Amino acid sequence: MDFKLNINTPQEVESQIAVKLKKLRLKNNFTRETLSKNSGVSFSSVKRFETTGKISFTNLLKIASALGSLNDFSSIFEDNNVVSIADLEKSQLVKNRKRGRV
C-alpha cells in the first residue's frame, strides 16, 4: 500500500486555491461581479471563497469554467504511480474495482 505524505491541511489547501483563483481572476481583469455573472455563482459566494476558501464543489467548478481552468480538475484523484511502461501495461490489465471493502 502506497502512502503519500500530506504536508498541508485541508484548510490550507482551501486557502491556497482561493489565492490562486483570485490571482487568475485579476489576471483576466475580472471583478468579483464579472466573475459572478460569467460563472452563474452568486457574488457573495465568490467573495466568501476568496476570503475564507469555503465554497461548494459545484460552484468551484463553475468558477473554474468561467476562468478557463475546468480541465485542471480532470487529473484530480488520478493514480500517478506509473513509473515505467511495464507498470502502465500492468495497470491496463487490472480490473477496475466497483466497490471498496473494509
Grid cell digits, residue 100: 471498496
pTM for the full model?
Answer: 0.71
Q: How far apart (Å, rounded) are the C-alpha atoms in residues 40 and 66?
A: 9
Residues 6+ apart with CB under 8 A from 81: 2, 87
**pLDDT value at 90 more than 80:** no
**pLDDT value at 32 more than 60:** yes
**Mean predicted confidence (pLDDT) in 56-80:** 90
Domain 10-93 indexed as CATH 1.10.260.40: yes
pLDDT score at 25 = 96
Q: Are 87 and 45 in contact (CB under 8 A)?
A: no
Domain ranges of the chain: 10-93
Angle (CA) 97 100 102, round 5°: 150
Angle (CA) 39 22 18, round 5°: 90
